[in-house]
Amino acid sequence: MIRYIFDEAKHEFVAAASGSPMDIASELGLLVGTSYNLIRSRDPQAAEAFRMFLIPALMPGSPVWDRKNVPDPQEGIKIVRVMDFGKEGAHE
């Protein structure tokens, strides 16, 4: 289960994920595919741009994979539950 909400107007950010690493990755893939097809239904060129911007963002050297501590939010809840993958290690 993934729940990500980013509402700049309301200054709201919620990030929650639960399930095995494979489940979470699969759901992220579904979200990307759905987003791509929603964009494509309106503007095929914008969908291609989205795809071309997303690919480098997920490459091994991308800053997406930089390790950093995620602070507890000032408002809202920080939930991360990885199941069937052992205990979560300490953040570096």
Neighbours of 33 (CB within 10 A): 10
Q: What predicted TM-score, i.e. pTM, was given to this entire model? A: 0.66
Could you state, in order of their start, the residue ranges of all structural domains in the chain?
2-60+70-82
pLDDT digits (tens, 9 = 90+) for 13-31: 777 888 888 988 999 999 9
Rounded CA-CA distance 31/41 in Å is: 15
Rounded CA-CA distance 50/83 in Å is: 31
pLDDT digits (tens, 9 = 90+) for 37-60: 999 999 999 999 999 999 999 999
